[in-house]
Every structure is written in structure tokens, then in C-alpha cells.
Structure 1
Amino acid sequence: FLLRLFPLREHGMNLRAKPLTCQEIEAFKKSKEVMERFIRAYQLMLRFYGIILVNQRTGELERAENWTERFLNLNRFSHNNLRITRILKCLGEMGYEHYQVHLVKFFLTETLVNETLSNVKRSALDYFLFTIRSKQKRRELVHYAWQ
């Protein structure tokens, strides 16, 4: 179901899933209803991971009340890292680059500073960071990661 909630312009693991076209992305962006549903899907996945969207305008995130239980799941099952990468890429496609930055910084903080997601660390550094479209924001996050 994640392929449908967070479609990409590239082929994923399911070769039968048709990649999005640029025209489809633009049509999605013009539809208020589609974009509202997209944000609801994003919030649903965040809750599954133990995260809440605090501010829809900025994309600010924080731990949910059930974060301990959900982080255990994230640490236990590495396939979630592929799903998070897909979500990050889709955020960029749909014009939510500022959401990308907050989500990547959240995972960098939890892996490097709080040390709560040790099994997500490699994906955060090797994949999540490089989904950020803005070179400047990506540089800032790389600098944050290596402080």
C-alpha cells in the first residue's frame, strides 16, 4: 500500500507498479483534496513510526507518546528504512522539501544525539540525507550529523 500512498517517478521493488509522470505530479499538486490526503497519509505513517507532525505549515516533528514502543519496531525491522526513504523521496516530488528536512533531522537527532535508533543510523546517513533536494539544506544536515 505504501507504493500507492507515496508514489515515485522511479521503479521500486514492485516492477508492476507504474512510476509517476511529471504531469501526474503537477496534477496532484494542483488538487487541494489530493494534497490534503497526502498529508494525512504522511501523518499516518509518522504515527506508525512514533512521530507526530507538530506544525503542518513548517513540517516540525516531535516524538509521539508511544515513541518507545514504535522505535523498538523501527530498530527491529530494517525494511522500515526503505519505506522511510520512499516517503522522503515522495515528499520532495510533491513539493514538501521542507518536510524532508525536518524528517531527516529528526532521524539524525534520534540516531546520533539521543542514540535511540541505532539500527536506523546507517540508512539515515547513507540514504535519508541524500533525498534532500536542496544542496544547501543537505549540506547543513551533513554538517549537523558530523558535529
Structure 2
Amino acid sequence: MNYQAKEITKKEIEAFLEDETAKKRLVKSYQLMLDFYGIQLSNDSTGEVRRANNWRYRFYNMDRHTHNNLRITRILKCLGILGFPNYQAPLVRFFLEETIVKGNLYNVKESVLNYFISAVIVQQQRKELVEYAYKLYEVKHQFVVP
């Protein structure tokens, strides 16, 4: 964590949202981070993601180094603030499927449920993700809505 980092201002957000080059660079940076985690952006418009070819090793690394969970939360928040809220829900849904359905990323599951879902800024999408997670969750009485 960088304690000297300053929060982005409304003025900076507005300038970013008007700069097409900056937005393209953000998407490219997002794709690089996804690759680092073993994920690939499969649809630029919808934000849909899928496993990348390198997913096994990257998932192993992500599951062992849980500091990445905080980074993913920040990525999700950044996407929402800087004009790509449509990218948030597909990434969270991907993590829900990988953690709850496929049983991968055991050490990421708690962050998905407690932080990733909450980072989604579109309320309807957030609600749908909570409902989806509840539907998938096997021990219903242990499920706590964020």
C-alpha cells in the first residue's frame, strides 16, 4: 500500500472520462492485469472475461498470495469510477464461478463475497451478483449478504 498516494479528484475523473487515449490505456492496463491473474478479456463491449491459457499457474499464484485480492478490489473500483462499470460485474461473476462452482481459488472466495461484489457500482448488477452467489452457495444459512 502506498500511504503517499492521493485519492483521485472529481476534476481528474472528469478529465479522464473525456480523454479517449487515457481510456484506451486503461483498458490495455486492465488486460495486462487480467493476464497476470490468468484471465482474458473476451469481449471489449460487455467486459466478459474467461480463463487465459496460463490460468493454472496464475490461479495457483493468486490463491497463494492473497495480497492480490486487495489489488483486484482496487481494479474493480477503478473500472467503476473511470467509465467502465460494464466491466465490473462480468469479472465478479467470473470469480464467483471459479470460487464457488469450480472450487478454485479457495483463498479468494471470501474476498469475492465480501469485497468484489460490493465494489460493483451499478446497484442492479450488484443485486444480481448477490442473488447469483446465494443461489450457488451450498450452505445457505452461512451466507451473509454484503
Same fold per superposition (TM over 0.5) = yes
Runs of 4+ in 1 over 4 A off after TM superposition: none
Show the counterpart of 2:81: 93
Show the counterpart of 2:57: 69
Question: RMSD between aligned alpha carbons?
Answer: 0.7
Q: 1:83 aligns with which of 48, 65, 71?
A: 71
CA deviation map 1:8-67 (0-9, x unaligned): xxxxx3221121101101101111110010000000000000000011111010000110
Q: What is the one-letter code of the residue matched to 1:112?
A: I
Report sequence identity in percent: 54
What secondary structure sits across from 1:146 in the alignment?
A: helix
Q: 1:113 aligns with which of 87, 95, 101?
A: 101
Return the offset for 1:78: 0.4
Show the counterpart of 1:4: none
Show the counterpart of 2:120: 132
1:145 aligns with 2:133: yes
Alpha-carbon distance in 2 for matches of 1:34, 1:122: 32
Q: 2:18 aligns with which of 11, 30, 37?
A: 30
Alpha-carbon distance in 1 for matches of 2:58, 2:112: 17
Alpha-carbon distance in 2 for matches of 1:107, 1:63: 10
Specify every segment of 5 or more residues in structure 2 that has no aligned partner in the other structure, as ranges. Answer: 136-146
Q: What is the one-letter code of the residue matched to 2:75?
A: I
Alpha-carbon distance in 1 for matches of 2:122, 2:45: 18
Alpha-carbon distance in 1 for matches of 2:3, 2:52: 34
Show the counterpart of 1:7: none
Q: What is the one-letter code of the residue matched to 2:45?
A: R
TM-score between the two structures when normalised by the length of structure 2: 0.90
Return the offset for 1:115: 0.7
* Total equivalences in the alignment: 135
CA deviation map 1:81-102 (0-9, x unaligned): 0000000000000111110001
